[in-house]
Chain A
Amino acid sequence: MKDRLEALKVEAIEKINESHDLKDLQAVKVAYLGKKGPITEVLKGMGKLSAEERPVIGAYANEVRDSIQLELEKKQTELENAAITEKLAKETIDVSLPGRPVKQGNAHPLTAVVTEIEDLFLSMGFTIAEGPEVETDYYNFEALNLPKGHPARDMQDSFFITEDILLRTQTSPVQARTMEKHEGQGPVKIISPGKVYRRDNDDATHSHQFMQIEGLVVDQNVRLSDLKGVLETFAKKMFGEDRKIRLRPSFFPFTEPSVEMDISCFKCSGKGCSICKQTGWIEILGAGMVHPNVLEMAGFDSKKYTGFAFGMGPERIAMLKYGIDDIRHFYANDIRFLKQFKNA
């Protein structure tokens, strides 16, 4: 009987190994381990055996059954893996085909530059002040030390709507309004970005509408040297750590002393190139110590308070930063132009 079991085992394992798919394997399983299979048959004949032989053969039969079972399982795993591999092979796609585009726009380059500058000053403790684009003559000029008939008004040919209402020519009226709101109490620490308007013919370097960002700090003991510190931080963050700055005396009606700030050329590092017109320096912004008249008009005691103000043009900064040669590009909104500022 043992021989018979041994033969069955060899035969079954042979069949298992010959199976090509799970169906074949199932058939083998039923054929050898089923209730009507040969091993069951053998076990049924055990009654004829002696009491000593019975447990021995029984144990052996179980052993045979277990090893067939084991082989079956092994083969089954093997076949299943093969089936999966085959299925996956059929599912293969061409990964080199282009993906489905995700629609994504981006900010206008001027917004990108303004946001960058805003964030920089926010990190230095400034807040952002805003005001109307249609302004009164008082806030746009008079409160800024530009009384009617002042020759410096000619520097800014304005779009008047009525005798007293105009499109603001600068964002400084926001400073005047903010100071007024503080009712003579410092500190004031703001920047004011926004659109401004001047009667200019649009050409490569002029635009009747453009942007400005101005800054204002009013407090006790504010010094020109502090302005230098703030502007140096700005220049390094905006144009690179190794930028140097230079202040030149200048004139603005609402500051005294007034300065113009140049940065060392970021293209040639001061050696001289076409961007810096061979001077090694690039003019970036105007600034100065707030004129005592302006402080007084806004209700601050100019004996107690001092302040500084600065103003710059985002168009100019964007043109320098990205090498844009014509200011009109900003307002034409050619989509091929706008798309280039994805990463700005």
Chain B
Amino acid sequence: MLISYNWLKEYVNVEISPSELADKITKSGIEVEMVESLNKGISGVVVGYVKECIQHPNADKLRVCKVDIGQGEVSQIVCGAPNVAEGQKVAVAVPGAVLPGNFKIKKAKLRGEESLGMICSLQELGVDTKLVPKEYSSGIFVMPSDAEPGSDALEYLNLNDHVLELGLTPNRADCLNVLGVAYEVAAILEQDAKLPDTSITASEEKAEDFISVSIESLEDNPYYGAMIIRDVKIGPSPLWMQNRLMASGIRPINNIVDITNYVLLEYGQPLHAFDYNRLGSKEIVVRRAAEGEQIQTLDDQNRSLKDTHLVITNGKEPIAVAGVMGGATSEVQNDTTNVLLEAAYFASSRVRAASKDLGLRSEASSRYEKGIDRNRVYAAAKRAAGLMAELAGGKVADGIVEAGKREVNMYSVKMDVSRMNNLLGTTITSEQTAAIFDRLGFSYKESNGIFEVVVPTRRPDITIEADLIEEVGRIYGYDRIPTTYLLSEARPGGLTASQAKRREIRKYLEGAGLYQAVTYALTTPEKSTHFSYTEDAVYPISVAHPMSEERSTLRMSLLPQLLEVLQYNQNRSMEDLAVYEMGSVFINRQEVLNDLPEEYVFVSGAVTGVFNEHLWQGERKTVDFYVLKGILEGLMSELNLSERITYESGEIENMHPGRTAVVKLDGIPVGLVGQLHPALQKEMDLKDTYVFELNATSLIEAETDQMVYQTLPRYPSITRDIALVVDQDLPAGDLFTVIQAAGGELLKEVNLFDLYQGEKMEEGKKSLAFSLKYFDPERTLTDEEVVTAHNRVLKSLEEHFGAQLRK
């Protein structure tokens, strides 16, 4: 909402500067987002009188004017505007003047003719083109004939004004008009708000002889009033009104339309002027539109209506969409003489439906949507009719023809001063409270600290005690509320076990060299299903109205987005990358989403390029499967899950079929680790990329024993190494399992320390060397015990895999 400072001053006495005022308004509840000076750096622009205007001898498009700029001084000014003419009062920038953009005016010679200054258009004076009245949009602005040559043109054009831009929250729709802001400012400055003059001198004619009004549903349209103004003369509205409209962001059109807009801004009451002679009947009927019913609106668009829309009809066909836009047939035109002025209260739901469906949002519709003051409708109608008489020479027919109830009763809300002080932490007295209600213009009764406040209809946001407490608090001043500390007992805060573990996982991965990424949860429908390692049927979850296909469907894996992160960085010449993300994925097993989907926290990583590097020592290790598996093994050890995790080769969509493992917890899949499928790498233009993805929720929920301290070994351990020859395709993991099982209690550690699969081996065979560590924490082992256990291991290996000791 744009509020002209000068206009505001008409209703409330303001003796402080616009910026001081803005500061006070902001502090007591309505944020003033900006204070804009309409003077954008102008000086030296005066009113001039064009005494003579002749064709430039050397230029078709230029005129040479003799302009009286006051005190009898006449300057020659060359002007290129097509509409400059003898007898006009114009704005002249004299030599030495400055225009917006620090544009300095100097004496000049234009095609051989001397020019002492410049005749200005409104645009040249800093007015936005879209606000300039159409007839002046491509030429100079012509001022009223009573303007005094030589006087300050900015005063005439109200360009010394300031505009306050209010950022209104939805509860303060009462400040969507100058009067509402005046009440607010009056409360802040402890002044009284003055109301505009709404008196009218009615003619002999009776409005009811010209029109009848009926409403089909009082729920859709609780009140409709029509006034008749006869014999108006269409023309421009006075400059002061045009100036205020432009300052408020509205372009002047003609006196009748300008008056409806002016009163809209002043009272917040949307009004519409119909050309009475073009109504096509003598009745107004307000009803729902029929489905598919047509209307041509003011903007000459043909619009198809729905039965949720409300229309104003002449008894036969729609002549306006209620609260949204008038129809073209009954539009006020230059030859209009009789006006029907509509002042109505439409239900916000009806206006919202039509405005949304038709894509039409206007100053009027948005006010109806946010709610207007029911008890101000009639006053606004009188104000507008009075102005039409005054400024357009109209005769106001007696009375207002109406349907529905003109006014509603006000209700009251109770407030207990002691409860207010308990809620705010203050010690405000009843007397102070009463004074604040006085300032707000709320009437009340008080007894024993209980106030019964009658809420004015302009403040429908106040319905409960807390609303009144806020009113008192904000006018009292939040800076006067003390700072205190919670009285409640102190309890220790702390992370839950799950929260602590998630932090631990993040710390671990960062310590392992991965950078944390945060990506979007919405992706494409295709990508949403990538990297699924479960067998269950899942259904992608798409939002109903996405901003784009790219961000339409919830992710079931973090990997597609992490791969985009790699792509993004590779495109910027960063080749060696290691990133991880921890975030929610959304799994839906319902064909139709009735219940909330399952949400899991996943932790996933993507690594490409060199992982370890120390160039001058010749070390340069590119990431491979085992780098990532090592990171996961470390993580599982951190989570105390190492012994319950297995890695089994598996085929997963988009993963390299020979370089991928499904990670299982107690035999149930909880993730994957491996290389991206080369086809996908190629498609995404990625170098060799290794990824992992784990269901962190499952890992964290897996019960783990509390860590128990193990006494340090006091007895020596005995280590035996074995080198085995086995079939090439036998997974080493199987050997580990068998060794561990056969070794029994005493076998405490098994390490693989060599893998050979070269030319020295028999075809189809490979050699693996393990180191086995036996010990008993309670005593020294005998050679015999170790030999027995070790022989068991060798025997078992032979039985299971035909494994031979390498000679």
Contacts and interface: CB of A to CB of B under 8 A. Distances in A.
Given A152-B170, A257-B470, A100 B617 contact: yes
A166 to B, nearest CB: 8
Nearest to B582: A111
A246 B644 CA distance: 55
A221 B568 contact: no
Contacts of B510: 104-107
Nearest to A165: B593
Nearest to A122: B493
A199 interface: yes
Contact of A123 (B172, B486, B493, B499): B493
B485 A333 contact: no
A149 interface: yes
Interface in A224-249: 224-226, 228-230, 232, 246-249
Interface string A241-262: 0000011111100001111100
A209 interface: yes
A274 interface: no
Given A123-B493, A127-B494, A335-B515, A162 B593 contact: yes
A252 B594 CA distance: 30
B422 interface: yes
Contacts of A161: 541-544, 593
Contact of A224 (B481, B489, B614): B481
Interface string B639-677: 000000000000000000000000000000000000000
Contacts of B348: 151
Given A161-B541, A161-B544, A224-B425, A257 B522 contact: no
Interface in A194-223: 195, 197, 199-201, 208-209, 217, 219-223
Nearest to A227: B425
Contact of B482 (A134, A228, A335): A228
B429 interface: no
A291 interface: yes
Interface string A159-170: 111100101000
Interface stretch (B25-33, B99-107, B130-138): B25-33
B171 interface: yes
B501 interface: no
Given A248-B27, A256-B466, A209 B520 contact: yes
B9 interface: no
Contacts of B583: 195
B506 interface: yes
Given A199-B545, A223-B425, A125 B490 contact: yes
| Chain B contact surface mostly | mixed
B494 A122 contact: yes
A197 B522 CA distance: 10
A332 interface: yes
Given A159-B545, A208-B551, A225-B425, A256 B578 contact: no
Contact of B464 (A187, A225, A248, A292): A292
Nearest to A260: B31
B26 A134 contact: no
B745 to A, nearest CB: 38
B509 interface: yes
A105 to B, nearest CB: 4
Interface string A49-82: 0000000000000000000000000000000000
A103 to B, nearest CB: 3
Nearest to B482: A225
A292 to B, nearest CB: 6
B516 A106 contact: yes
Contact of B370 (A103, A128, A151, A338): A151
A228 B484 contact: yes
Contacts of B171: 152, 251
A101 interface: yes
Interface residues of B, number: 95
A125 B493 contact: yes
Contacts of B731: none
B515 A155 contact: no
Given A105-B512, A125-B492, A257 B521 contact: no
Nearest to B498: A130
A29 interface: no
A333 B517 contact: yes
B481 A247 contact: yes
B569 A249 contact: no
B541 A134 contact: yes
Nearest to A252: B169
B473 A257 contact: yes
Interface in B20-60: 26-29, 31
Interface string B149-193: 000000000000000000001111000000000000000000000
Nearest to A288: B470
A110 B515 CA distance: 13
A289 interface: yes
A35 B347 CA distance: 128
A103 B611 contact: yes
A133 B464 contact: no
Interface residues of A, number: 85
A249 B518 contact: no
Given A103-B612, A199-B547, A248 B29 contact: yes
A224 B424 contact: yes
Given A199-B547, A247-B479, A97 B616 contact: yes
B351 to A, nearest CB: 12
A77 to B, nearest CB: 38
Interface in B529-572: 541-547, 551, 554, 565, 568-569, 572
A136 interface: yes
Contacts of A230: 485-486
Contacts of A322: none
B670 to A, nearest CB: 21
B596 interface: yes
B493 A121 contact: yes
B518 A105 contact: no
B518 A111 contact: yes
Contacts of A292: 464-466
Given A125-B491, A256-B470, A101 B481 contact: no
A335 B569 contact: yes
Contact of B483 (A199, A232, A334, A336): A232
Interface string B273-289: 00000000000000000
A161 to B, nearest CB: 6
B10 interface: no
A226 B572 contact: no
Nearest to B467: A256
Given A104-B510, A160-B543, A257-B473, A223 B422 contact: yes
A251 B517 contact: no
Kindly name the residue among B171, B513, B514, B614 whose own CB sees the greatest number of chain A CB atoms within 10 A.
B171
A165 B596 contact: yes
Contacts of B482: 225, 228
A316 interface: no
Given A221-B487, A256-B470, A246 B479 contact: yes
26 contacts: A103-B611, A105-B513, A107-B516, A108-B518, A122-B493, A128-B495, A155-B170, A159-B546, A162-B544, A165-B593, A165-B596, A208-B520, A209-B520, A209-B522, A219-B488, A221-B488, A223-B423, A226-B485, A226-B487, A230-B486, A251-B169, A259-B478, A292-B464, A333-B518, A333-B565, A334-B568
Given A106-B516, A217-B486, 13 more contacts: A100-B614, A103-B513, A106-B510, A122-B494, A128-B495, A189-B488, A197-B521, A208-B520, A226-B425, A250-B169, A251-B169, A333-B579, A338-B517
Interface of A: 97-98, 100-101, 103-108, 110-111, 115, 121-128, 130, 132-136, 149, 151-152, 154-155, 159-162, 165, 167, 186-187, 189, 195, 197, 199-201, 208-209, 217, 219-226, 228-230, 232, 246-251, 256-260, 289, 291-292, 306, 330-336, 338-339
Question: Which 8 pairs show the lowest CB-CB distances between chains A and B?
Answer: A225-B425, A103-B513, A251-B169, A249-B29, A257-B470, A223-B425, A249-B474, A256-B466
